[in-house]
Amino acid sequence: MVDIQDAGQALKRYFGYESFRPGQEDLVKAILNGQDCLGVMPTGAGKSICYQIPATLLDGLTIVISPLVSLMKDQVDGLEDAGIQASFVNSTQDMDEQSLALAQAAQGRSKILYVAPERLDAPRFREFAQHTKISLLAVDEAHCVSQWGQDFRPAYLGIGDFIRFLPNRPTVAAFTATATEKVRRDIVYMLGLDDPYVAVTGFDRPNLFFDVIKLESKYKNRWVVQYALKHGEDSGIVYCATRKETEALADDLTKAGVSAVSYHAGMDAQDREQAQRDFVNDKVQVVVATNAFGMGIDKSNVRYVIHHNMPESIEAYYQEAGRAGRDGEPARCSLLWNESDIVTRRRLLDMDNGNDRLTGDQTEAVRAEHRRLLNVMIGYCRTTGCLHQYMLRYFGEEMDQAAAGLSPAEADKGNSVPVGHPDTCSGGCQNCSNCLSTFTTIDVSDVARAISRCVHDVNQGFGSGKIAQILRGSRSQDLLRRGLDRCPSYGALDQVPEARIRDVLNQMASDGYLYITEGRLPMVHFGPKAAQTVSPDFHYEIKRTERPRASGKVYGGRSSSTVDDDGLDQAAANDASPEDEELFQKLRDLRTSIARKIGKPPYIVFSDKALRDMCRLRPADDATFLAVNGVGQHKLEQYGPQFMGVISEFSARGGVDVVRGTAESDR
Ligand code: ADP
């Protein structure tokens, strides 16, 4: 019988970590006791450890079901580098390689075997599973089993069947970063979890700096290019809404001298695989991707994630943004958005016909759910409150409902965060753009009323550019020729800047007062809430953001957000001295050269955090080297001498106090 102390020792020996993070220990304990469990933790919180540690201690084999074949190799590389025997079977291998992997697992020479869910149906795999002692079945990204989520994967539905097929039922442990209560319930039901221990850990990621920037579409690419140039040493992911956008932006970045690739589902598998590999191996710095990229991406040194567009839900956002800073070091998550993004998202949602496994009613229910999720996302973009808190409240409220055992209908009522109303920032986390900015709310009721009036005057027959011109009282030939200067609302807003009119108009469209039609020449029509604008108590506001010390160019002349926001950058920066920075670069170079030699991604050799720790501790002996975050016995033996060599050379040259290199100092 293994106990939790053994688990703690295994954590140190294999992974070099001093202690479990919140939630991990209890999940490990449950698994070791043979209890099914469900771990709900945000991306980067450390779900893998929860099944990997038990896998090293349990008698038989641990099978890990993971949705992404292309990542299995990295996961296995990482484990082997930590000294844990692991393998995978998947379609990238030929028959011989597959047989070898299965034979190794059957003979107990692998403790962990990764497979994709599709594999569970294969006769050869079933045959193998029937004759192998399987102690634990870990289901990664378990929300893929649910049709309520955005990543539904039909093959996940076969997992329950596979479990029933096994002669001895293993412990089943499911993991997800999705906090939706419905999805969680689905996981328990669809996988047939037996009285599972459920751990939901805190969703905060304090090392992430959250940043929301309202920016007109035409300025977005330039913003991203400048950001990437300014952070030339860092790895980053930029998420775009469409394939075309990813290609255009990757192009802009490349032209500006940033090594960037695009990644989307329209590329052929080989190019996609190559793009991912180059990114993971630090050969390219930036990947510009659609949301097809990243599920299960394990690269720990992603220093920034930029969303070029507003995602469809907070869940999706948190998952994608959460790919930054998995190593616990500061990282930045920036979201660029504008009102027309919202209009596009809503349109996409209305066009989505769901999947054909659902009836018409179910499709409508799923769509309504997606609309609700989108509204919460819009609230995030517009809030003036703390961004960390906004997300925590969203996840937290759902957690409370789960604990209280509310019905789904009740849960639905409760868990929507008010949209469009500023949440007061009580915490002042100093780690998000809102907590570092001040806001002014501007009453634009008159502007909104005039816009609505003008749309009426022109019979919903013109686009937003013309509406703004009419309201401004423009003398343009085109306008005069069409006789639009005879409109009652002509010149009604001649004192208001055109940019302000457009801002208000766009916000009205995303709030449902107006509706902008599709097509080459989008027209401004009335939206479902249009009638409210003529009511005497109609009140409408927009917010203006004042950012700290905006030293660079102001984009679009209206938003004061710039990439050179030193105030914001400082918050996300490392407080390393120039000397530590120099050593860090040297250690990073060594890491890259080792990684190239052994053909594994650099982050698998050591995380950025481990390198930072080395700069701080300057280890000169094994005991101190083991005290570095992420150094276990195996890594010490493999890489210790080389890294300590570089450190001692650096310290000797710089005349740095070598006494720092003892395990006791600096603690
Ligand atoms: P998730 O699957 O939840 O997104 P991972 O399992 O990839 O997260 O873990 C994220 C990072 O945190 C990894 O680099 C992992 O090694 C590290 N990590 C996990 N558990 C611990 C721990 N107890 N102490 C320190 N680092 C940890």
Q: What is the pLDDT of residues 100-158, one digit of tens each?
A: 999 999 999 999 999 999 999 999 999 999 999 999 999 999 999 987 766 788 899 99
Per-residue pLDDT for 401 more than 50?
no
pLDDT for 289-335, tens place per residue? 998 887 657 788 999 999 999 999 988 899 899 999 988 889 999 99
Q: Which domain holds residue 492?
A: 445-539
Which of these, 244, 251, 266, 63, lies nearest to 171 by C-alpha position? Answer: 63
Residues 311 and 388 in one domain: yes
pLDDT value of residue 299: 87
Q: Write down which residue in 511, 539, 567 finishes a domain.
A: 539
Tell me, what's the pLDDT at 556?
A: 37
109 and 21 in one domain?
Answer: yes
564 located within any domain = no
pLDDT exceeds 90 at position 179 = no
Q: Tens digit of pLDDT for each residue in 67-80? A: 888 788 889 999 99
Q: Is the CB of 136 under 6 A from ligand 1?
A: no
Structure tokens at 141: 């990204």
Same domain, 178 and 232: no
Say how far apart CA 420 and CA 116 lie, in whole Å.
42
- pLDDT for residue 204: 82
Res 180: pLDDT: 73
Residue 300 Cβ contacting ligand 1 at under 6 Å = yes
Does position 664 have pLDDT exceeding 60, yes or no?
Answer: no
CA of 324 to the centre of ligand 1 (A): 13
pLDDT recorded at residue 639 = 96
Triad 263, 266, 271: Cα angle to 5°: 55
Mean pLDDT of 187-214: 91
CA-nearest of 333, 331, 437, 308 to 383 is: 437
Task: Give the separation between CA 310 and CA 345, rounded to whole angstroms.
Answer: 8
Q: Does residue 567 form part of some domain?
A: no
List the single range of 275-289, 353-367, 380-394 with lowest mean pLDDT.
353-367
Q: Is residue 518 scored above 80 in pLDDT?
A: no
Please work out whether the CB of residue 46 comes within 6 Å of at least one atom of ligand 1. yes
Contact 49 CB / ligand 1 (< 6 Å): yes
Q: Report pLDDT for 398.
A: 40
Atom of ligand 1 nearest to the CA of 45: 3
- State in Å: Cα 236 to ligand 1 middle: 19
Nearest CA to ligand 1 atom 5: 46
- Residue 656 maps to which CATH number? 1.10.150.80
For the CA of 24, the nearest atom of ligand 1: 23
Domains held by the chain: number: 4
Residues 355 and 421 in one domain: yes
Out of 176, 200, 224, a domain closes at 200
User: What is the pLDDT, as a whole number, of residue 553?
Assistant: 36
Residues 144, 212, single domain; the answer is: no
State how far the alpha carbon of 197 is from the alpha carbons of 34, 46, 136, 174, in Å: 11, 17, 15, 10
Say if residue 251 is in the same domain as residue 146: no
What is the predicted pLDDT for the residue at 560?
40
Instruction: Determine whether the shortest distance from the Cβ of 52 to ligand 1 is under 6 A.
Output: no
Which residues neighbour 271 within 8 Å (Cβ) at sequence distance 6 or greater?
none
Please report, as a single letter, which amino acid is at residue 330: P
Q: Using a 6 Å cutoff on CB, does residue 263 contact ligand 1?
A: no
pLDDT of residue 473: 95
Closest residue CA from atom 15 of ligand 1: 46
pTM flag (> 0.85): no
What mean pLDDT is reported for the chain? 85
pLDDT at res. 364: 81
- Same-domain check for residues 76 and 138: yes
Task: Report strand pairing: 37-40 vs 171-176.
Answer: parallel
My answer on whether 106 and 52 are in the same domain is yes
pLDDT band at 549 (very low <50, low <70, confident <90, very high): low
Average pLDDT over residues 228-251: 94
pLDDT at 150: 67
Residue 151, domain CATH: 3.40.50.300
Per-residue pLDDT band for 400 (boundaries 50, 70, 90) equals very low
Residue 419's pLDDT band (cuts 50, 70, 90) = very low
CA–centroid distance, residue 638 to ligand 1 (Å): 21
The residue with greater pLDDT, 533 or 546, is 533
Nearest to 308 by CA among 328, 288, 327: 288
Pocket test for ligand 1, best of 20, 48, 66, 175 (most atoms within 8 A of CB): 48
Q: Is the CB of 326 under 6 A from ligand 1?
A: yes
Same domain for 223 and 304: yes
Assess if residue 563 is contained within a domain: no
Q: Is the pLDDT of residue 409 over 60?
A: no
pLDDT score recorded for residue 354: 62
Q: What integer pLDDT is reported at residue 1 of this predicted model? A: 67
Q: Given this model, what pLDDT does residue 291 score?
A: 87
**pLDDT-based confidence at 412, cuts 50/70/90?**
very low
What is the per-residue pLDDT for 522?
A: 81
Nearest CA to ligand 1 atom 12: 46
Q: Tell me the mean pLDDT in the region 597-605.
A: 90
Structure tokens at 334: 């920036």
5-38: per-residue pLDDT in tens?
899 999 999 999 989 988 899 999 999 999 999 9
pLDDT reported for residue 519: 67
Which of these three, 410, 441, 472, is where a domain ends? 441
**Residues contacting 200, CB < 8 A, separation 6+:** 23, 40, 41, 179, 399, 402
- Check pocket membership of 205 for ligand 1, CB cut-off 6 A: no
Is there a domain that residue 573 lies in? no
Instruction: Confirm or reject: Cβ of 272 under 6 Å from ligand 1.
Output: no
Average pLDDT over residues 247-275: 93
pLDDT at 296: 58
Residues 281 and 365 both lie in one domain = yes
Confirm or reject: Cβ of 298 under 6 Å from ligand 1. Answer: yes
Whether residue 421 has pLDDT greater than 50 = no
532-540 contacts, C-beta under 8 A, 24 or more apart: 533/448, 533/449, 533/452, 534/449, 534/452, 538/445, 538/448, 538/449, 539/443, 539/445, 540/443, 540/444, 540/445, 540/447, 540/448, 540/504, 540/508
Q: Is the CB of 21 under 6 A from ligand 1?
A: yes
- pLDDT of residue 414 exceeding 80, the answer is no
* Residue 566 lies inside a defined structural domain of this protein: no
426 and 466 share a domain? no
In-domain check, residue 435: yes
In a domain, 545, yes or no: no
Whether 477 maps to a domain, the answer reads: yes
Residue 41 Cβ contacting ligand 1 at under 6 Å? yes
DSSP assignments along 107-133, one per residue: TTS-SEEEE-GGGGG-HHHHHHHHTS-
* Over residues 216-229, mean pLDDT: 94
- On whether both 455 and 419 belong to a single domain, the answer is no
* Residue 25 in contact with ligand 1 by CB distance below 6 A: no
Nearest CA residue ID for atom 24, ligand 1:
17
Q: What one-character DSSP code corresponds to residue 260?
A: E
User: What is the number of the ligand 1 atom nearest to the C-alpha of 328?
Assistant: 12
Q: If you take atom 20 of ligand 1, which residue's CA is the nearest one?
A: 46
